[in-house]
Amino acid sequence: MEKKKIVFFGDSVTQGCFEILRENGEFKLIVDQPSCYGEKLTSLLKNRYKNVQFETVNSGISGDGLIEAEARVDRDVIAHKPDILIFCFMLNNMSRRDTEWYGEHLEVLFDKFKSAGITTIVMSSNMVNKYVAPDTPEVHIEMAKDLVECQNGGVLDSYAEKLKKEAEKYGFYFVDAYGAWKKLDSYGIDTTMLLSNRLNHPTRKMHWLFADMLFDCIEKNHLIEK
């Protein structure tokens, strides 16, 4: 039986973090990895390719941006020698409001993937909150305000565009999940209500959007043989 290894490299969304609660003065992550897009994609692939044995590695870590990714890329990606890498880092560096910085650090990582000859799919993120929702926990209000500025002020749009340009420059596959979220927004859907923490973590149902788009990319580009 043919074997395929897929590594998912990203932040809390990739990890499967849905809530961040504060209990007794400490923050507690509510991680539900079976509900994340990586698991959903794996389920789709196993159903489609019965003759392939899939091994998946979830290298998502909550709070990580590109600096943290650079520090662990050898251990969490290169060392696994994946057949397919799915890369999703957009959310945790946007508060810098520095698209050029973002692009420069993407290139550090993309150089490594290219040198290692890894088939790479770059996926843009979800939207963040467009307003401070009434049920936003008090401890997250300031963060919510900052995210609103980034979303409504075009910061996340510029990061998504930079991510796409860098992916295309390196010849990587690009999945525009952010564009799909923007389309939902243009239809009048309240995308803030599609975030489980009203900040930046999509609901479990919305992880299917990522999984479906990634599956379509893999199918369209024949990245796995039947």
- Give, for all 226 residues of the chain, the pLDDT tens digit: 789 999 999 999 999 988 765 555 565 667 788 889 999 999 999 999 999 999 999 999 998 999 999 999 999 999 999 999 999 999 999 989 999 999 999 999 999 999 999 999 999 999 999 999 998 888 889 999 999 999 999 999 999 999 999 999 999 999 999 999 999 999 999 999 999 889 999 999 999 999 999 999 999 999 997 6
Q: For position 26, what pLDDT does the model report?
A: 60
Q: For position 19, what pLDDT does the model report?
A: 73
- CB 199, CB 139: distance < 8 Å: no
Tokens of 131: 């307003």
Q: For position 17, what pLDDT does the model report?
A: 84
Name the region of 125 (left: φ>0; alpha: ψ -120 to 50; beta: rest). Answer: beta
Q: For position 23, what pLDDT does the model report?
A: 54
Q: For position 135, what pLDDT does the model report?
A: 86
Distance of CA 144 to the CA centre of its chain: 19
**Closest of 105, 111, 203 to residue 159, by C-alpha:** 105
37-43 contacts: CB < 8 A, separation 24 or more? 37/8, 37/13, 37/207, 37/208, 37/210, 37/211, 37/214, 38/6, 38/8, 38/14, 38/86, 38/211, 40/207, 40/208, 40/210, 40/211, 41/6, 41/86, 41/210, 41/211, 41/214, 41/215, 42/6, 43/211
Q: For position 45, what pLDDT does the model report?
A: 97
Q: For position 210, what pLDDT does the model report?
A: 98
Q: What is residue 129's three-state secondary structure?
A: coil
Q: What is residue 94's three-state secondary structure?
A: helix
Q: For position 127, what pLDDT does the model report?
A: 98
